[in-house]
Structure 1
Amino acid sequence: MNSEFTPYYAVIFTSIQTETTEGYAEMAEQMETLAKQQKGFISIDSARNAVGITVSYWESLEAIQQWKQHTNHLIAQQKGIKNWYAYYNVKICKVEREYDFTKK
């Protein structure tokens, strides 16, 4: 394990959409662009199909809370509840270590 690794946080957002998808892709793209501009943001991974999973990575719990309360993000959350989501779940996890593999 890399002794210089700094733990960080992952917000895991899992969702099931309603049949109404109008405007969803555009809003998701706007929120990703906006999140990338926030202090403490690290990166994001996303797969949106029948079940959507988006994982965003943050330096601190404070950065996550600031993002959650961002005015445009609050508007997106309200639209999601009203129009796009039949279900969603949010998990906030501390990442203690990571590793990856790349085929040569």
Structure 2
Amino acid sequence: MNLLSNRFEVPYYAVIFTSQRTTGDQGYGQMADQMESMGRDQAGFLGIESYRESSGAGVTISYWKTLEDIRHWKSNPAHQIAQDKGKQTWYQSYSVKICKVERAYDFENM
């Protein structure tokens, strides 16, 4: 496994979004793809990793150069629509954590 987060020059920021989905897609997959595509075009975007279990529990980590870049993405009008839809329809619960990454390293046993 080659971890994405170890490819960036430190320091950088990670937005850790943990969630519990509601049942059914209800347009979630399409919106998630759209948000990832839009996020990639945002200033300061470095990358994204996402994992979801069959139970609906998931983690998405997006990586950014600065806190200001994160604020711009959070206030993006299309992203705000997705956030509202998430609260109304797609998520049973979620948590957001913003962390500064000051050191990153990895190990791979080949």
Amino-acid identity (%): 53
1:41 aligns with 2:45: yes
Moved more, 34-43 or 44-53: 44-53
CA RMSD of aligned residues (A): 1.0
In structure 2, the residue matched to 1:10 is: 14
Question: How far apart are residue 101 of structure 1 and its match?
Answer: 1.9
In structure 1, the residue matched to 2:89 is: 83
* TM-score of the pair, normalised by structure 2: 0.86
Question: How far apart are residue 20 of structure 1 and its match?
Answer: 3.6
Structure 2 unaligned residues grouped into runs of 5+: 1-8
- How many residue pairs get aligned? The number is 100
One-letter identity of the residue aligned with 2:39: A
Ranges of 4+ aligned residues in structure 1 off by more than 4 Å: none
Q: Indicate if the aligned counterparts of 1:20 and 1:83 stay in contact, CA closer than 8 A.
A: no
CA distance in 2, matches of 1:20, 1:78: 17
1:28 aligns with 2:32: yes
One-letter identity of the residue aligned with 1:101: F
One-letter identity of the residue aligned with 2:14: A
